[in-house]
Amino acid sequence: MTVTQSFEKLKKINTAGLVLRPNSPEMKTTYIEIKEAFQKANIEVLLEKSSAAMIGHKEGVEFETMCKQSDFLVSIGGDGTLISVARRSFEYDIPVLGVHLGTLGFLTDITLHELPAFIEKLKQNQYRIDNRMMIKGSANINTFWAFNDIVISRKSISNMLRVDAKIDGKLFNSYYGDGLIISTPTGSTAYNLSAGGPVVFPLTDAFIVTPVAPHSLTQRPLVLPADFEIEFFIPDSLGAVVIVDGQDIYEIPENESIKIQIANKKAKLIHRCERNYFEVLNKKLQWGN
């Protein structure tokens, strides 16, 4: 496992691409306020097309076009919105700033009230870009990328699921229970944590494999180096369901496999320089209290 600190900066800070939390038409006033804050700092704003339609704004642009024309993206909502934006923009290698309007705010650390001051720091290069490991998964003809986790789950509530896990074609464990979570370090504080998995520092490169309600008490979470390619074989006649970041779902038939490896590049999140991961743990998760 390796831990790296990035000193990368944005090449330009001329154009920001904004994405609003879905199904939230009440965010129109918030969007106007955020747009004015960026324009005051001479930063042009592009609004993603579906976000524009949601608030009745006519001048929206396609997401792909926005990624190509923006210097960075701004996710406005909660952690789920940021994860979606990071996944959708992944191939464009563009940093994402999260503005927190949700409940937990574990990944989105800038509030609406703090945004104007942070924009000034952005212009003065007083920020940092964190590089977060992504997972590449493939099953059948589908290829997908996960920011938090990939969950292999049973299809029927009345049946347990068997998953045979292999590294380099060699079996290292057979899991039997409700399912399996394969998490990134960033996702270690999500579903993985609620299932009893470990918290892993988010700039680490590693897989966390955590069984969900295992049938055997000997099954425990496992941390594996990110340079492994892991194969999860499904022998069950019912097959399985693969859930990517809680947002996309794929069905896996009997005797098929899900192959997992580290993605060839990382997601980029813009944060305050003073942001401290362990302070976030203490504040958001009552860490150490």
The fold adopted by the segment(s) 15-133+266-285 is: Rossmann fold (3.40.50)
Please give the Cα distance from 204 to 218 (Å, whole number): 26
| pLDDT tops 60 at residue 253 | yes
Tokens of 275: 């942001």
Which pLDDT score, from 0 to 100, does residue 280 have?
81
| 3-7, 17-21, 123-127, 144-148: range with lowest mean pLDDT | 3-7
User: Angle CA(261)–CA(263)–CA(267) in degrees, nearest 5?
Assistant: 140
Residues 254-283, mean pLDDT to the nearest whole number: 92
Q: Which of 79, 205, 236, 245 is catalytic?
A: 79
Mean pLDDT of the chain: 93
pLDDT tens for 116-164 read: 999 999 999 999 999 999 999 999 889 999 999 999 999 988 889 999 9
| pLDDT tops 50 at residue 1 | no
Pick the CATH number of 135-262 from 2.60.200.30, 3.30.1360.200, 3.40.50.11270, 3.40.50.11030: 2.60.200.30
Tokens of 81: 């919105």
Residues of the chain with CATH 3.40.50.10330: 15-133+266-285
Q: pTM score, two decimals?
A: 0.91
Please give the Cα distance from 22 to 24 (Å, whole number): 5
102 neighbors 89 (Cβ within 8 angstroms): no
Residues of the chain with CATH 2.60.200.30: 135-262
Residues 57-78, mean pLDDT to the nearest whole number: 96
| 61-65, 111-115, 151-155, 214-218: range with lowest mean pLDDT | 214-218
Q: Check residues 144 and 288 and name the one with the higher pLDDT.
A: 144
The CA-based diameter of the chain, rounded to the nearest angstrom, is 60
**Which residues, listed in sequence order, are joined to residue 145 by a DSSP beta bridge?**
136
Residue 104's pLDDT band, with cuts at 50, 70 and 90, is low
Active site annotation includes 79:
yes
**CA torsion sign, 137 to 205 to 286 to 179?**
positive
